[in-house]
Amino acid sequence: MEGHPRSLAPFHHVERGEVRRDASRYLPGMPEREAPGTVRLDKWLWAARFYKTRALAVEAIDGGKVDVNGQGAKRSKAVRVGDRIQFRQPPYEWDVEVLGLSERRGPASVAVTLYEETAASRKGRETLALRLKALPPPLFLEKGKPSKKQRREIEKYKRGE
C-alpha cells in the first residue's frame, strides 16, 4: 500500500473488504451509536413528538430553549431514563421526566409512554392555555398586519403584564 497515491492512514487496520459493524461509516473507528441505554437529545425530542422534525429539535436546542437536568445541553447530549428535560415551546414551557428511550418516531400512543410531565408543568400549561383562550381576538383597526408597537402590546397582554 506504500505505493498507493492516496494516503489510507485511517484505514490501515482494515483489510480490503472487511467492514466493522459497530464502526461509523463517516468516521472510521468511531462508534455508530451512543452508549447503551442512551439516545441523542435531538432524536429523543423528535421521537417523543415534541418537534415535527429533527431539524426543529436541533434549532430549539441550539437556541438555548432546552435544558437537561437544569443545565444547558447540546444536541448530542446523551439522554438516559430518569433525566429531567425542561424546554420552551412558546408560549408554553414543558418539564418532563424521561421514562423510555427511542431513536425512531412512532405513533403518538407510543410517544407518550417515553415521558411523564411534572404536575407543576402540566398545571402551568393548562392555566396559560385557559388564559389565552379567554383573550378576545385582537382588533386590527387598520388594514394589514399589526405595527411593531401593536405587536409589542399584544405580546405584553399575552404575558399578563
* CATH code for the domain in which residue 52 is found: 3.10.290.10
Task: Tell me whether residue 42 is in a domain.
Answer: yes
How many independent structural domains does the chain possess? 1
- Structure confidence by residue, pLDDT tens digits, 9-68: 554 554 555 544 544 444 454 444 557 789 999 999 999 999 999 999 999 999 999 999
Task: Tell me whether residue 154 is in a domain.
Answer: no
Task: Note the pTM of the prediction, 2 decimals.
Answer: 0.66
Long-range own/partner contacts, residues 142-151 (CB < 8 A, 24 or more apart): none
HSE-CB at 54 with a 13 A cutoff on CA atoms is: 11
- Structure confidence by residue, pLDDT tens digits, 84-103: 999 999 889 999 999 999 98
- Structure confidence by residue, pLDDT tens digits, 70-79: 999 999 999 9
